[in-house]
Structure 1
Amino acid sequence: MENHLLYICMVFVLAGMVKGVTGIGLPTVAMALLGLVMPPLQAAAILVVPSLLTNVWQMLERRGLYALWLRLRLMLVGVCAGTLVGGAFLAKGDGRAVLGAALLLYALLGLSSWRWQVRAGQEPWLGPLVGAATGVLTAVTGVFVLPAVPYLQALGLEKEELVQAMGLSFTVSTLALAVMLAGHGAWQPAEAGISFLAQLPALVGLALGTRLRARLEPQLFRRCFFITLLLLGGHLSLASG
């Protein structure tokens, strides 16, 4: 893994920058690029610390966290349960095909004009199902976005509230992933050390992305982001076939 140290640092600078501009994307970009050179399980172990740090930062940027927790707690409990259940699939292949498929689906959703709307009466039963599905995919691929992000976008939250909600969801997903990896002996000293090291380039990228946010056209950047994920997802899917 030491042979890939420079590559890992460059990946987290880029992933942090994407998150700084869009509010999402650090785990997705990191897993997509790290998955090119290592199994997703190993990449997920490296992801833990930088993902946790940047998402806690995003989660605490504004007030109103407790109200969001009350609204989303059933979904977040589902995330934890789904991640623990998804850990049972760790031994079945290296997960690259599933990671590639998840990236392809997320990219296609991001590039489409399809929009989902969740009514208030659906949240008590739909939230836990979405959380459980997100947790299973988190355990298998290390990516936290599906179906959590489309669900959160469908709740009709204000822009800054949505960013905070995603930070809360990703924080819980990261903690659940860390517990699952530790329980399966997948967070070894080497991965833990590189994970702590990776927080530095991730924070540099986050700071750069935050400064770039005001200068870039958000829609154009998001389109380029999803096209890149589409290409990476396709490559991972074909390479694992």
Structure 2
Amino acid sequence: MVESLVVAMIAFALGGVLKGAIGAGTPVVVIPLLSIYFGVPYAVSVFVLPALLSNIWQVWQYRAALPERGFLIQLAVGAGIGALIGSVLLANLPSDILSITVGLLALVYIGFRLAKPDWGLDFAVARRIVLPVGVLAGILQGSAGISAPVSMTFLHALRLERRQFIAIISVLFSAMAIVQLPTLFSLGVLDGQRFLISIAACVPLFLGMPVGGWLVRYVPPQLFDRLIMVLLFVIAAGLIYKAL
């Protein structure tokens, strides 16, 4: 219990710094790091409550930057459906497969960011594909805890202003977490001990967010982004190596 708590606190503090700096990316750090020590089901279940609370807070904080309602509703509904499917997969797939999936998703995300840094997407096209994108992001988040290869890539490609990006991605993660929380309880993946750790993890996450907001004013965003990707690569490689 003590070891679980310490590792979770460190992971969520780092995730909070990242979220405070760029408005997203917490699961990209937290899920692989916790998965190395305790497995993907533990990581995903402990992450749900902090994700829900922090993203609801950011939705409220950036509510003035939210775009048209139709786009948001489709994104949220798709994400919720996908999160339900993904949670069922999480409860039934072997842990090694889940660990490899998390590691590979992280590497795919890094590879795409490096290969296509300037990739863009027209908003008219985004409106037509937003529902299936939400479903796919939800499945990845529910089953492996990382939807960044779909969710962050999709939203980054829209070339959104920072406040609007944070508002939209917070709606996405809130919708997924709202579905995940009761579903993981009902499936037995989230138990009493994990829920207590999840509650405690909210503290370092919320403490880390203003630190990230402060750091981003002094560290060039490109450098901060590259440092995070290096860290993610090391974690993802370790996760895959352990599973194999």
TM over 0.5: yes
1:155 to 2:158 alignment: yes
Q: How many residues align?
A: 241
Hey, what does 1:92 align to over in structure 2? 93
Amino acid at match of 2:156: Q
> In structure 2, how many angstroms separate the alpha carbons of the residues matched to 1:112 and 1:126?
22
Gapped runs of 5+ residues in structure 1? none
Aligned-residue offset at 1:226: 0.9
Task: Between 216-225 and 59-68, report the one with greater CA deviation.
Answer: 59-68
Match of 2:137 among 130, 134, 138: 134
> In structure 1, how many angstroms separate the alpha carbons of the residues matched to 2:218 and 2:170?
23
After TM superposition, the structure 1 = structure 2 runs for residues 57-96 of structure 1, keeping only pairs within 5 Å, are 57-64=57-64, 67-90=67-90, 91-94=92-95, 95-96=98-99
Q: Deviations over 1:15-55 (max 9, x none)?
A: 11111112122122110110110111111111112212222
Q: Deviations over 1:92-115 (max 9, x none)?
A: 111101111111111222333444
Hey, what does 1:233 align to over in structure 2? 236
**2:71 touches 2:130 (CA, 8 Å); kept in 1?**
no
RMSD across aligned positions (CA): 1.8
**2:83 touches 2:138 (CA, 8 Å); kept in 1?**
yes
SS at structure 1 position matched to 2:17:
helix
Aligned-residue offset at 1:124: 4.0
Gapped runs of 5+ residues in structure 2? none
Aligned-residue offset at 1:234: 1.6
**1:34 touches 1:40 (CA, 8 Å); kept in 2?**
yes
> In structure 2, how many angstroms separate the alpha carbons of the residues matched to 1:68 and 1:192?
35
> In structure 2, how many angstroms separate the alpha carbons of the residues matched to 1:26 and 1:210?
14
**1:139 touches 1:180 (CA, 8 Å); kept in 2?**
no
Q: Deviations over 1:178-200 (max 9, x none)?
A: 23312312121101111001101
> In structure 2, how many angstroms separate the alpha carbons of the residues matched to 1:178 and 1:65?
27
> In structure 2, how many angstroms separate the alpha carbons of the residues matched to 1:111 and 1:174?
29
Go from structure 1 to structure 2 and tell me whether the alpha carbon gap of 1:27 and 1:72 turns closer, same or farther (over 3 Å shift). Answer: same
1:197 to 2:200 alignment: yes
Match of 1:178 among 178, 181, 184: 181
Structure 1 residue runs of 4+, over 4 Å off? none
TM-score (norm 2): 0.91
Go from structure 1 to structure 2 and tell me whether the alpha carbon gap of 1:156 and 1:89 turns closer, same or farther (over 3 Å shift). Answer: same
> In structure 2, how many angstroms separate the alpha carbons of the residues matched to 1:65 and 1:56?
14
- Report which of the two has the higher share of helix: 2
After TM superposition, the structure 1 = structure 2 runs for residues 86-125 of structure 1, keeping only pairs within 5 Å, are 86-90=86-90, 91-94=92-95, 95-125=98-128
TM-score (norm 1): 0.92
Hey, what does 1:46 align to over in structure 2? 46
**1:83 touches 1:180 (CA, 8 Å); kept in 2?**
no
Q: Deviations over 1:172-230 (max 9, x none)?
A: 12222223312312121101111001101111111211222211111101011012111
> In structure 2, how many angstroms separate the alpha carbons of the residues matched to 1:190 and 1:155?
40
Q: Deviations over 1:126-148 (max 9, x none)?
A: 11111111111111111232301
Go from structure 1 to structure 2 and tell me whether the alpha carbon gap of 1:161 and 1:121 turns closer, same or farther (over 3 Å shift). Answer: closer
**1:110 touches 1:226 (CA, 8 Å); kept in 2?**
no
SS at structure 1 position matched to 2:4:
helix
